[in-house]
Amino acid sequence: MTDKKSPTGSLAGIKVVDLTRVLGGPYCTQILADHGADVIKVEPPQGDEVRDWGPPFHEGDASYFMGVNRNKRSIGVDLTVPQGRELVFRLLEDADILIENLKTGTMERWGLGYEEVLKERFPRLIHCRISGYGADGPLGGFPGYDAIIQAMAGWFSVNGAPDAGPTRVGIAMVDMGTGLYSAIALLMALQERARSGKGQYIDMTLYDCAVSLMHPHVPNYFLSGKTPGLTGNQHTNVVPYDRFHTKTVDIFIGAGNNRAFQRLCAVLGEPGLAEDPRYKDNTARVAHREELTRVLTGLLADMDGEEVCRKLLEGGVPAGPVLDTAQVMNSAQTKHRQMAAELDWYRGTGIPIKFSRTPGSVRSVPPKFNAHGREILAEHGFSEDEIRRLAEAGVLVEKRR
């Protein structure tokens, strides 16, 4: 399916050659595509493997793939053969960005290395590589996966309840966080190129991004000398900041300052609690975390959770019910903020970046494998005969192998 309308977002006119697969890279390039970039997804002969990461499926492609590949065009190319690599060179002639997450050293082995080839041949090109650990160092060249790097970067050690033990974060935030960092890096590089006229190489790793997201645990460790541990739903530095049971629904309350705590106590019918020396400020509340949690748990147990949340919000205290995915995607707030996107059969999350003049848009559904292969080649000057020969030779891969 081709775009229903020309992109008009803030990145309209930017061309991205996308050799990434799975999650981190595709999440990054979907952000760029949502805001108007022309993202050409170059898939290997077997396709992006997350097309198979189901159920559920739509016409043979998994929901996992659907979630991070809208607004892109797909072409299947066999890069293991010289003709495939020459095809990519043609795509790069007017490209702004090349992004890939191939195994470290693969691009260099194929004659597509940045320093050796691309820098001189395409001086304005910005080449972003996403890898697990980088090309060198103790773990250089090894593959990286979200959960493993969560474990190695300390995320397990601070996530989970003490009685249950270290737990993986339920969202692939290492991959997605790296995708977000990569999108930021690419926008920075585009901004710098506008001044210098030169492209550059961006070295992104899952490990680096995971370590950088360990806040506030790293600064807490450096300042206190104590190794952070498991806190369950509680905040390490703020009390009360926790999940509580009510008569109707679990809720989460975050009273981040003294005024918020005073208002919380008033809504719960115990304004004097805020005057108790044990709870007079956040330092005292952290020191008496367990006692205060027991008191608040007792007060909330027989209350209506939704009503309490409404009163707290009206009083300026952050609070909300604990919802599941279905409840979130059907909530009035989600719909009001246009965070439930629909196009033809496709349904997904909306676009979180809201521009006043140049909004992003969902213009096309996630592409079938090689759905735009011949179209893309024709745009880049390939004749019908050349395209036919490339398809017959298996360089242009029209069906997944």
User: Could you count the other beta carbons within 10 Å of the beta carbon of residue 23?
Assistant: 25
38 belongs to the catalytic site: no
Burial class (CB within 10 angstroms; exposed 0-12, middle 13-18, buried 19+) of 330: exposed
How far is the C-alpha of 26 from the C-alpha of 178, rounded, in Å?
A: 11
In the structure encoding, which two tokens stand for residue 112, read together? 């597509």
Please pick, among 136, 175, 250, 281, the residue that the annotation labels catalytic: 175
CB half-sphere exposure, 91, CA atoms < 13 A: 31
- Where do the H-state alpha helices sit in 20-143? 24-34, 63-66, 82-92, 106-109, 119-121
* Buried-state track 149-166, b at ≥16 Cβ within 10 A, e below 16: bbebbbbbbbbbeeeeeb
Q: Which residues contact 134 (CB under 8 A, 6 or more apart)?
A: 104, 140, 203, 205, 207, 208
CA distance 282 to 255: 9
In angstroms, the CA 233 to CA 214 distance is: 16
Pairing status of strand 57-58 against strand 61-62: antiparallel
What are the residue numbers of the active site? 175
